[in-house]
Chain A
């Protein structure tokens, strides 16, 4: 009897509760992907996030890598001579990069994060029913543009990289066996994405004012032109650039000083630009004014312009662009009446020069003048860049007259004469020089030097290495007292450059380790 009682009690116990309800404890405050995708309006949020991936919202993910790229050119020094940072200097000076750097890894990582953001939209937007088809097309065009942008960043820096085109494939075991695609395969993907984007995206003028800053048909065409240029497909590059020119959507700013100007966001010259705002509560501002700023001016003093760059302006008699490109210690700041004698102490800032393009004039600074909170937009492609792409591509395609005319437009604005009789290599060199002066300190230089070739050899080799122009200048000809008085940064920058190695950066070592060697290192690293 007792046994029976016990057994029935036990039975009761074991059947009494088996409630799924008791075990239902959903995550609070953070939506799941499934929940968000069920909401039709969410797609725009994913697309906007992909834009975020172009710059990311702090200095370390992407921005600082871009800055190091200018340090690795002849336009800049690493600059900060107080902080011993071998992880930065080793890239800027082309010595000892092999051991790897955080900046390379973060840059690589965040390009792929951006790609994954795009892939979610590309894969899922077709499944969203509750969306205006026209908007859906535009959003698809935007992420195609952005995915191409990210892959272009990767191929420019690392050569061939693994290609991921959907979100679902990330969830298959096979993802761990991916290898690097060839440079050609990556470019083929970029071109296709940009061609799709050209079809899907509206013109700049067709966007509402609330959408200013989104990718446009012109931006897709502009980048396509650049992508062709990087592959030396001159005719296609010139034709594509010409389409942008003919669209009349963009003009040069009348005044060069208006190009990088807090008061002129998304100006008429802008083809693709990241919008920033100073905000107390949200990280939606820029960083470059601080990270390139003088140590005496609340800055970090990385990437200081070289006297070698200044000399290029002076040799050209290019006063207008010089004053809007370089600030010099002890001199007033052009466009900032509040500063009559700028302080970039030579003992702490190599070369005592600062990038004027990213500089925030005193009257636009909010207190505290924080990192990551600056109001100046960051221009990634502008019309002058496009005109010079057109000029260069036209020249190599054999159309010297178009090349000269495009270059002349750029020079006219800054009141420089253009010798219309230039031809052959002299014209080529003039276009290259023009590109340098016009776009100086805008993070293009190192890539231009890499792709521009003389007799099949990258121009980086003419600038760096024991016989490089920049190295020889600094070791033998340089008389700049600011630079010579501060040898905290080695005057022989770039002497260890190796043409067989340094035209691409090393793949992040952790990527090789994590892929168990499926991803192979670039040659000679």
Chain B
């Protein structure tokens, strides 16, 4: 109804403004199957004059001339151009635009039409990925694809987010396989290497029936990257430039006076004398601003040319990206070039050659966030001038009173630079043997070389504690070489309404890397020309080097069947052999099958508002080989020991790794049910998938009890994780006169549980923390969500002695005999009247109830506006920073206001425990749910406003301003609720250790096209 009113209003307006001389035109727009269509745009060519159809598909307006040309357009339908020749009533028949359904989708080892797809594949267009200026494409992928969760790790320039496709069923390496133009890359490759401007689109293969063709490498899903290629036509050139400044959110930190009061209170509450005389404080260092600058630039430049003729198409691009940290040290530069050529040698033979060299150079950003929060504000950045006598430039820094190394000094002596050169070549030859059979062979080569130079200057800030008695130089060279060789035969045939497409292939993959590392001591002169190995003259000379390699050999087979575009069947099989498994377990088979039913193609189906409806179901298996190449072996390491009168060094042997000779492949199986629909004249698209994914023989590095003397964890096939969830994608487009509006929403609902664990491994622990009595922060328990937080449950804080006394057993025995008012109340889970290891329990879930993304594009005439929202709902965050920020543990600095916010007799309702150095109750010596908070947040990831100037010599001249991560709505008390620590998704997810936070960025940019 509202749409109707709006349409009428707009129609009225346009009619009113279009008074005047030209012809009065009226007519009706309809389609063959759905009849009259409302809301269709009718514009007079060369003007902004026009109207839209009403509910009955009728339109009427006055043109500016007597013989105007009408442009009829609507999203999802083919556009028409109709010259007006004086008709009374024009009947316009428009046809649905088939391009979205005929769109070619890249699948593993081939392509398919969108309508043929029987599995779950999400497509993200390069255009959408390029709205944000980021070094790593996955950052802009966040929220754009249903079922794909992107978790930012924070970190400085060059840091890469984690990508999680459909939850967790595997422990080791949750990163998806990345395939660029048909070439799978080594595991652990993140998307840092890609120039976002080169991306045509990403296809994200989510379910087993789509990924099974990649066998052992696909257990975490597959991202297929397709790069842009040239097209026929004259050369077109485009260029884009953007420049932005990034700003970090400043955490609240106590000043010198409050810090001293907190430390004094910690002592005095234990009956000890105060440490600091508040009147004698003469230093108040604002460490945050000493270490971090307010703004850091990010810049991106892109130049692209493409074109082609009959036989030859080409695309060339070159791009430069630079991101700087907020510290005096730390940046990342990336220069990428790409040259993609397609040459049709003959009717039968097509040769494609892609070349993609890349150069990266970065200076490691020192990770000083943690220390900056902890160092005491009483310490000056530098020592007084009169104390600098005899000290070198790295030794003139103040030494903290609380043993936190001076972070400004740490920045000054950071000399850690890397230089990476990578060359990627992708050659493909396609030969049509007959009309139905074609053969293709693809060879992908990757050659990489990385150099890392480090220099550690001599300095003494505090002898024995904060010093490096001798300078040293360290230089490391890594080389890698990998190839992927795919050989495929494709067969396509049509028999009446049946069509068949079959593919068989043979694949070889090998990856090899090696390194040399040299370390020497004592450089001749302390300046930057003497930071190389040859400049060192000390006795200590160390050299290291090694080589590693792994191979994979696979056969694959796939069959697709299509009956009358109504029924689709799909089956695939892959046999993999991997060098990473013991000989007896080396080979494994993976298969999948799926099917789809295109309901709208049925003759009986006639629901006017449904333009397209497809139901699909599938099953697939994939494997996981992401384990260290030596995991099945017992390895022997060596050390040194002194024996004998002459103090001879003897080399000792010891078992450095416990192996598991029975190690097997981990298999992941899933079922997927999906609905794809387009509704209301294709204005609304709905994609809903339900999946159930399960691992079998999960690979897990288990911790053995320490009494086994095992030097390492042991890889075992310990059971099964199950991930169940929904991926929901909604798209809506609307065009009204000069306005277009489109919105895409994604919702991910997922729960991953440990459904089976091997005997004796019913609890898998991770994140052992020495400061919490060597207990673990994470546990995976049978039947529970994987990677839950682990610790003691608390029931608030004792407000007074009465509450301490009443926290007792029926016999009157105190459950926490060491507790005082202001201490945490721990829950005695087993009711044995005391708090012990037996009371440890799960205390939080880092996984959200759901996460959602919303991408909105609005254009009006030459203006465009984009907004990307992302939200995570119902997850818990382990706010580890509270461990020191609300306690002053080890005398580190605390959050502002703690002196009053912590429990004290005047604030008995506080939610922060009392200050104490000894902490006899163990408030800050135990993991507990005191540290666990709700991590729900909603973030405006990107907002961009652009204007495309009308300039005669350019096809595009668009200027824009944008803001990234400008708004975040959350109740989380830490700096940023979006946290993922190291140690893998299961073990690391949701623990806020205080990482380099995500920056807020404001950018301006220009896109030009010729």
A: residues with CB less than 8 A from B are 2, 5-6, 9-10, 13-14, 16-20, 22-25, 27-36, 42, 44-46, 48-49, 51-52, 57, 82-87, 95-96, 98-102, 105, 108-109, 112-117, 119-120, 161-162, 164, 170, 173, 175-178, 209-214, 265-266, 275-277, 279-284, 290, 293, 295, 298-300, 367-371, 487, 490, 508-517, 519, 521, 525
Contacts and interface: CB of A to CB of B under 8 A. Distances in A.
Nearest to A377: B642
Given A176-B760, A212-B645, A13 B487 contact: yes
Contacts of B586: 20, 23
A280 B540 contact: yes
B707 A511 contact: yes
B919 A86 contact: yes
B630 interface: yes
Indicate the member of B577, B639, B840 with the most A CB atoms within 10 Å. Answer: B639
Nearest to A492: B271
A9 B505 CA distance: 10
Nearest to B491: A6
B775 A510 contact: yes
Given A99-B925, A100-B775, A116 B710 contact: yes
Contact of A211 (B487, B638, B643): B643
What 4 pairs between A and B have smallest CB-CB spacing? A116-B709, A100-B773, A368-B469, A45-B653
Contacts of A178: 705, 707
Contact of A164 (B505, B709, B890): B709
A279 B434 contact: no
Given A46-B653, A102-B770, A284-B649, A96 B709 contact: no
Nearest to A368: B469
Contact of B645 (A13, A209, A509): A209
Interface in B696-719: 703-711
A33 B705 contact: no
Contacts, number: 296
Nearest to B657: A30
Interface string B453-479: 000000000011100011000000000
Contacts of B551: 22-23, 25
B634 A514 contact: no
A511 B765 CA distance: 12
Interface in B370-404: 401-403
Nearest to A275: B642
A23 B557 CA distance: 21
B709 A2 contact: no
B489 interface: yes
Given A210-B648, A299-B464, A514-B705, A82 B437 contact: no
Contacts of B654: 46, 49, 52, 117
B806 interface: no
Given A25-B551, A87-B770, A33 B489 contact: no
B710 A170 contact: yes
Contact of A83 (B403, B703, B925): B403
Contacts of B403: 82-83
Contacts of A114: 709
Nearest to A37: B636
A84 B916 CA distance: 12
Given A33-B659, A511-B707, 4 more contacts: A10-B489, A17-B506, A42-B653, A46-B653
A509 B489 contact: no
A285 B1010 CA distance: 70
B629 A27 contact: yes
B549 A25 contact: yes
A25 B579 contact: yes
Contacts of B629: 25, 27
Nearest to A282: B640
16 contacts: A13-B505, A24-B579, A25-B549, A27-B629, A30-B636, A48-B651, A49-B653, A52-B641, A82-B403, A170-B708, A276-B642, A300-B464, A369-B469, A511-B706, A517-B838, A521-B836
**Size class of the B contact interface (CB-based, 8 Å):** 35 or more
Contacts of A276: 642
B548 interface: yes
Interface in B415-471: 433-434, 436-437, 463-465, 469-470
Interface string B759-797: 111110100101111111000000000000000000000
A49 B776 contact: no
B891 A49 contact: no
Contact of A13 (B489, B776, B891): B489
A12 to B, nearest CB: 10
B706 A45 contact: no
Nearest to A44: B650
A490 B920 CA distance: 15
Interface in B239-261: none
Contact of A213 (B508, B521, B644, B759): B644
A408 to B, nearest CB: 32
A116 B775 contact: no
Contacts of B703: 514
A162 B272 contact: no
B655 interface: yes
A513 B840 contact: yes
Given A2-B437, A25-B549, A96 B818 contact: yes
B541 interface: yes
B837 interface: yes
B636 A112 contact: no
B576 to A, nearest CB: 10
Given A284-B640, A367-B469, A519-B705, A95 B652 contact: no
B553 interface: yes
A185 to B, nearest CB: 14
A508 B709 contact: no
